[in-house]
Amino acid sequence: MAPPTATSTVQITQDIKKLEVSNNQEQKPEKQVKSKYDTDNVGKYKSPFYSARVEGEDGLLVLKNIERGDLSYPEYEPTWDTKTKFEPYELFEIKDRGLFADKSYKNLLSKDNKDLQTSDLTPKFGTEIKGVQLSELSDAAKDELALLTAERGVLVFRDQDLASKGVEFNVKFAEYFGPLHIHPASGAPKGYPELHLVYRSKDASATESFLKRHTTSVAWHSDVSYEKQPLGTTFLGLLDGPTSGGDTAFVDTQAAYDRLSPEFQQIIERLTAEHSGFEQAEASLRSGGITRRDPVKNIHPVVRTHPVTGKKAIYVNQQFTRDIQELKVEESDAILGFLYNFLSTSIDLQIRAKWEKGTVVVWDNRRASHSALYDWETTERRHLYRLGPRAEKPFLKK
């Protein structure tokens, strides 16, 4: 399968100040945009653990040879194309596949499936499923998968063969749920920029360096919330991982909204917040990486409505949300600071997905914020692939 057609080939700049905002939404001219370097900024972008890269052929950056020899799935080796750039995303119409699903789940969770095992991780949030092979789902079962993901927030599927089916199969599988997002900075298999790779090398020095500057690796976020239309039903599959550790934590922002007092719900429902991809782009360039698209900033409601369930969820995160548009700086910081602390400390609203060979996690990026956990010190790599169908523009239905 050929990669999406690039609209231009340009020299990647190392100066983040030259990158232009691609945002068609109206901005307040008097509003001063805060930088990640502002001391009063609540919620700052944490740079991920970038792997050491070297120049390869055809303008690609590749892993060092010491990292390339024993990948369990060489087809998923991360590369970074320094030559190809893409235009900013434009708005498009989409209906979530969950809207077309049979609510009895007769195709996905058939009563005739004797191998089916389901176990709720908590009463309202997260379910582990065995005996269902995602690669074999019919379109009707995929619709039910989208609905179940919206209803449960996070699904942990075990014993999956998706990774062994190859990159192209996975791309086509995920495209059923919507146009796939091309990450602006991450590694991707050669020729498939829409498959986002999460990679921490066997060299533990990157983690050690990170923890010299931070007390924790936790960085709660909703993937690419800075886009006009961020991700919906999202897939993450394990390729290689440590024997123990490296879990992914999820927090239920829908249940978090329900916990708030009616008065406070009304307050934050009137607010919108700016989400920025600039800091992520800057971090990539600083590490010698790439930007496939110029970074953008977009404004979204602080509370959003799910198009399938009709339920509301808090939609801010420490990685990408910068400030509340209707408030002064100190007021914005106070509201965001409360919400961030509420989400990060509410263990009763959280789950941890543990990884093992054959695990694929499916989550609703509109409802579940997440964080990788870098808590192992061995020389074991962590290698996963993510496919992110783009969803609707965030909205609030009052």
**pLDDT value, residue 49:** 63
**pLDDT value, residue 29:** 40
Backbone angles phi, psi at 369, to 5 degrees: -90, 160
| DSSP H or E run through 375 | none
From the number of C-beta atoms within 10 Å of its C-beta (0-12, 13-18, 19+), residue 202 rates as: middle
**pLDDT value, residue 50:** 63
Q: Which CATH architecture group holds 33-86+94-387?
A: 4-Layer Sandwich (3.60)
DSSP class per residue in 186-233:
SBB-TT-TTSEEEEE-S-THHHHHHHHH-S-----B-TTTTSSS-B-E
Which residue reads 């919108």 in tokens? 272
Rg (CA), the chain: 20
**pLDDT value, residue 17:** 43
**pLDDT value, residue 130:** 99
How far apart, in Å, are the Cα atoms of 205 and each of 202, 358, 380? 9, 28, 12
**pLDDT value, residue 209:** 79
**pLDDT value, residue 247:** 97
In the predicted model, residues of the chain with pLDDT beneath 70 are 1-43, 48-51
